[in-house]
């Protein structure tokens, strides 16, 4: 039913591929409608761009991508996942922005013997005790990024930090990850309402506490709200702001120079200096008129990973593709990625600063590397 298919078949059939090559089918699930539609749109753009770059093929085989819209509802996601697996008989299910949606489709997809590759969500159960040999992440485990910030702030000699995150699972994961590598004093740990739009009350309390540094995780619209209000309340004079998943190329167009100078950690940045990333960012900007966000980069990487796996496996055979991915050496916009035993990437964590580029557009720039080849802590709980 919901087939937004790229017609890549014809183009691929004309090229002299393997004589009887099967079509590689990828089901790509993301949120296209509703208020999170902007994230899904960026991911869809990136997937389309990846297919353009591979000439409509994956691993040299003709390929087809089926986009499905999960509407950010677990039950819709589950129904679509079943459809992709049972009816479309795809070789790989990929995408998924939200942890709870990934949890909902994890079981039916992996059980069916289809590979599941996350382009974003990375909840700790799936990295640890509930891990599955058919599940791969091409993004990060939730804890990795804040761990980088914890280490950075520890090394910067910061004595006291004020923590703030929304009151939900990812928020708690982020704060736990941060504290794993930061040993200084935690002045306060504040959990805000999920979806909160006004942080003035929390900022007033923060102002009175006068912490040396503030570490914040406020994704999406919450991040826009927070950074705006931080700026408007003159908090820069009170404390230094450090963030994860708060200031990125999705929120920056709405923040512009308001966020300049804000420090964050991330596993990717548009200015990463490797050939694949340069091509991705330049073509993305040319086609879609703006910087890609990390969501887009990870979506692109997911397609590159499938491309790599099919090429090495010589076809869309699940076992061979799984082995190819698990072996690592996956070419991505983050360079060549290694895979941990739980099949989450082992990767660098960078420190980034919000800056203006040569054209005066707000973006992020890497200023240093906190972790090299950083692995998550849950892998030890995982055995297939």
Question: Binding residues for other proteins, per CB under 8 A?
Answer: 1-4, 32-35, 37-38, 40-41, 69, 71, 73-75, 78-79, 82-83, 86-87, 99-100, 103-104, 106-108, 123, 125, 130, 167-170, 172, 189-195, 197-198, 200-202, 204-205, 208, 221, 224-225, 228-229, 232-234, 250-251, 253-256, 258
How far is it between the farthest Cα atoms of the chain? Answer: 71
Distance of alpha carbon 172 from alpha carbon 191, whole angstroms: 8
Min separation Cβ 290 and other proteins, Å: 9
Min separation Cβ 250 and other proteins, Å: 7
H helix runs in the chain, sequence order:
9-14, 37-53, 74-82, 99-111, 124-127, 144-155, 169-181, 200-209, 221-232, 252-255, 275-288, 294-313, 318-326
Nearby residues of 207 by Cβ (< 8 Å), 6 or more positions away: 233, 235, 238
Min separation Cβ 178 and other proteins, Å: 14
Q: Which is nearer to other proteins, 69 or 307 (CB)?
A: 69
Q: CB–CB of 277/333 below 8 Å?
A: yes
3-state helix, strand, coil in the chain (%, to 5): 40, 25, 35
DSSP 58-113: ETTEEEEEEEEE-TT-HHHHHHHHHIIIIIS--SEEEE---HHHHHHHHHHHHHTT
Min separation Cβ 348 and other proteins, Å: 26
DSSP conformation class of 249: T
Which among 333, 351, 345, 340 has a CA at the least distance from the CA of 379?
A: 340
Q: Which is nearer to other proteins, 348 or 363 (CB)?
A: 363
Helix (H) or strand (E) segment spanning residue 33? none
Task: Count Cβ atoms within 10 A of the Cβ of residue 341 and give its class: 0-12 exposed, 13-18 middle, 19 or more buried.
Answer: middle
Q: Which is nearer to other proteins, 74 or 331 (CB)?
A: 74
Q: Which is nearer to other proteins, 170 or 303 (CB)?
A: 170
Min separation Cβ 158 and other proteins, Å: 21
DSSP 285-296: HHHHSS---HHH
Min separation Cβ 342 and other proteins, Å: 16
H helix runs in 83-199, sequence order:
99-111, 124-127, 144-155, 169-181
Number of helices and strands (H, E) in the chain? 13, 16
Q: Which is nearer to other proteins, 261 or 368 (CB)?
A: 261
Q: Which is nearer to other proteins, 185 or 198 (CB)?
A: 198
Min separation Cβ 34 and other proteins, Å: 8
Q: Which is nearer to other proteins, 267 or 293 (CB)?
A: 293
Min separation Cβ 27 and other proteins, Å: 12
Min separation Cβ 257 and other proteins, Å: 9
Q: Which is nearer to other proteins, 251 or 302 (CB)?
A: 251
Q: Which is nearer to other proteins, 210 or 380 (CB)?
A: 210
């Amino acid at each position: 039913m919901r087939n937004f298919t790229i017609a890549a078949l014809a183009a691929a059939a004309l090229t002299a591929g393997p004589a009887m090559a099967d079509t590689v089918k990828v089901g790509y699930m993301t949120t296209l409608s509703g208020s999170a539609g902007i994230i899904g749109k960026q991911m869809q753009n990136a997937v389309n761009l990846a297919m353009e770059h591979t000439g409509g093929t994956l691993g040299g085989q003709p390929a087809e991508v089926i986009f499905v819209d999960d509407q950010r509802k677990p039950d819709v996601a589950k129904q679509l996942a079943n459809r992709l697996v049972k009816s479309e008989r795809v070789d790989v299910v990929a995408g998924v922005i939200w942890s709870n949606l990934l949890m909902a489709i994890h079981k039916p997809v992996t059980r069916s013997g289809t590979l599941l590759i996350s382009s974003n969500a990375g909840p700790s159960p799936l990295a640890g005790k509930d891990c599955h040999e058919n599940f791969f992440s091409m993004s990060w485990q939730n804890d990795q990024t804040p761990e980088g910030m914890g280490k950075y702030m520890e090394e910067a000699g910061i004595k006291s930090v004020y923590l703030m995150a929304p009151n939900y699972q990812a928020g708690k994961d982020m704060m736990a990850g941060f504290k794993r590598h930061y040993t200084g004093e935690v002045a306060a740990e504040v959990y805000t309402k999920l979806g909160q739009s006004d942080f003035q009350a929390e900022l007033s309390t923060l102002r009175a506490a006068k912490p040396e540094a503030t570490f914040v995780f406020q994704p999406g619209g919450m991040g826009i709200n927070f950074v705006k209000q931080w700026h408007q309340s003159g908090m820069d004079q009170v404390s230094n702001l450090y963030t994860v998943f708060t200031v990125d190329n999705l929120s920056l167009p709405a923040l512009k120079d308001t966020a300049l100078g804000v420090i964050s950690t991330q596993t990717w940045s548009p200015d990463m200096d490797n050939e694949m990333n340069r091509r991705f960012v330049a073509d993305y900007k040319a086609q879609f008129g703006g910087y890609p966000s990390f969501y887009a980069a990870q979506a692109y990487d997911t397609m590159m990973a499938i491309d790599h796996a099919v090429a090495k496996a010589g076809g869309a055979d699940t076992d061979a593709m799984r082995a190819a991915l698990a072996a690592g050496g996956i070419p991505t916009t983050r360079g060549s990625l290694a895979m941990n035993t739980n099949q989450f990437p082992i990767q660098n964590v960078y420190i980034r600063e919000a800056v203006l580029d040569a054209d005066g557009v707000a973006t992020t720039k890497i200023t240093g590397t906190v972790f090299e080849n950083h692995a998550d802590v849950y892998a030890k709980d995982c055995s297939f």
